[in-house]
């Protein structure tokens, strides 16, 4: 390689071929070949048929039908007994020829068109009211055009809490994107099916729910990249005393994060937000019906169950039909539309929440129930049975 470069340089300077041959101690023929060649000489081994060539046709047949079949399984099927690494290398060379191609388009997002939604599970347990700690989901909504991010921690990934979280974030945004993009989350829907309550929620918002197909990460890549961003930029070095503390810290961090320039848009999300919101739909005049609901006849055990927890109710209304409703923050119980009980919602599970005033009322009612009823007084309402005999003409007759 070095001689070839020197020959070319000397020849370009006008030195005769014979002089170049004497200087470098090589033959003149070698000099002539180097001057006439366009590329440096290299050694090329003549390919020889290896041991894999006999098995290659059968390997191709298997890959044609099963392009993702492991190389170890293919080796067993075709009867290969040689080097496993050599076989894996040859299968890896052939596999791309038989695997179907799934190209990824570069998507262009219009203002107001879409918001990508996803659940992120922070890798840190959150302390709850009963002293237990759990990994809780965070609902993340990223506006596709402006890249503006909204997020809040929710108690569960059930449909009720997912819709509550979405409505809370949309109220923060003050507008409704024309499309809400979700992966196949069970609490929202899968395939052609929608979870109960989701169609009514979307209909009230007048927006369109899009459930993405499997293996389509490009359509939701914006929000999924934000999830990784949270773990690398928000989580390190933080501790959380409660879900409310987590949401408070996350909200403050997002205020700063939405002011940073995004590489793909070369703009700050906060600067594009108004243009994004201007093309969105208005919030509905009537809020959607969201949250946990339970209508029951209040039993002697004066508790109602909401989201796996039991909440006490004023026992005065035992035997009456009551409506219990819970959002992310509180539980309310109503009788004929009138509020009769209210509790803060507990995010732990299997907890009994009791108001001490309800216990006192129950004790008073129990004591009153156990007291004997007073006898009727001499108010003239009790008549002698002889009066009835005279009235029916039975006076003086013997009753057999």
Element containing residue 89 per DSSP (H, E): helix 84-98
Q: pLDDT by residue for the chain (400 residues), tens digit each?
A: 567 787 777 788 888 888 888 887 888 888 888 888 777 777 666 555 578 888 889 999 999 989 989 999 999 999 998 889 989 999 999 998 888 776 666 678 899 999 999 999 999 999 998 888 999 999 999 999 999 999 999 999 999 999 999 999 999 999 999 999 998 889 999 888 899 999 999 999 999 999 987 656 666 677 777 778 888 899 999 999 999 999 999 999 999 999 999 888 899 999 999 999 999 999 999 999 999 999 999 999 999 999 999 999 999 999 999 999 999 999 999 999 999 999 999 999 999 999 999 999 999 999 988 887 655 555 555 566 666 566 666 665 555 5
3-state class (DSSP) for residue 375: coil
Could you give the CA distance from residue 258 to residue 127 in angstroms, rounded to a whole number? 28
Note whether 235 and 226 are within 8 A (CB).
no
Alpha helix (H) residue ranges in 99-242: 159-173, 198-205, 221-229
The topology under which CATH files domain 114-282 is: Nucleotidyltransferase; domain 5 (3.30.420)
The radius of gyration of the chain's CA atoms, rounded to the nearest angstrom, is 40
Segments making up each domain of the chain, as ranges: 2-36, 51-98, 114-282, 292-370
- Residue 209's closest CA among 184, 230, 227, 232? 184
């Amino acid at each position: 390689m070095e001689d070839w470069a020197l020959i070319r340089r000397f020849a370009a300077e006008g030195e005769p071929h014979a002089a170049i041959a004497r200087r470098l101690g090589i033959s003149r023929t070698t000099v002539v070949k180097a001057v006439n060649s366009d590329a440096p000489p290299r050694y090329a081994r003549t390919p020889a048929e290896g041991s894999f060539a006999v098995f290659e046709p059968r390997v191709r047949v298997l890959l044609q039908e099963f392009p993702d079949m492991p190389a170890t399984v293919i080796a067993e099927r075709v009867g290969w007994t040689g080097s496993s690494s050599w076989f894996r290398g040859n299968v890896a060379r052939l596999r791309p020829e038989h695997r179907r191609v799934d190209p990824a388009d570069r998507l262009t997002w219009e203002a107001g068109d879409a918001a990508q939604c996803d659940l992120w599970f922070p890798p840190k347990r959150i302390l709850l009211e009963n002293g237990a700690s759990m990994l809780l989901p965070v609902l993340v909504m990223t506006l596709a055009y402006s890249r503006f991010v909204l997020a809040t921690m929710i108690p569960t990934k059930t449909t009720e809490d997912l819709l509550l979280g979405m409505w809370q974030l949309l109220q923060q945004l003050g507008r409704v994107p024309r499309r809400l993009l979700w992966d196949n989350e069970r609490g929202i829907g899968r395939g052609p099916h929608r979870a109960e309550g989701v169609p009514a929620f979307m209909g009230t918002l007048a927006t369109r729910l899009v459930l993405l197909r499997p293996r389509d990460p490009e359509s939701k890549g914006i929000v999924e990249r934000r999830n990784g961003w949270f773990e690398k930029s928000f989580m390190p070095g933080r501790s959380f005393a409660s879900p409310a503390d987590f949401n408070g810290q996350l909200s403050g961090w997002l205020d700063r994060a939405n002011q940073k320039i995004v590489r793909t848009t070369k703009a700050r999300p906060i600067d594009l937000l108004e243009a994004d919101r201007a093309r969105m739909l208005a919030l509905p005049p009537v809020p959607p019906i969201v949250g946990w609901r339970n209508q029951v006849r209040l039993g002697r055990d004066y508790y109602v169950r909401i989201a796996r927890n039991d909440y006490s109710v004023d026992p005065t209304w035992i035997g009456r039909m009551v409506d219990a409703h819970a959002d992310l923050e509180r539980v309310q119980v109503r009788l004929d539309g009138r509020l009769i009980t209210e509790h803060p919602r507990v995010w732990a599970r299997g907890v009994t929440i009791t108001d001490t005033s309800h216990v006192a009322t129950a004790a008073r009612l129990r004591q009153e129930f156990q007291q004997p009823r007073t006898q009727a007084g001499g108010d003239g309402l009790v008549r002698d049975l002889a009066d009835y005999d005279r009235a029916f003409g039975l006076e003086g007759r013997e009753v057999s």
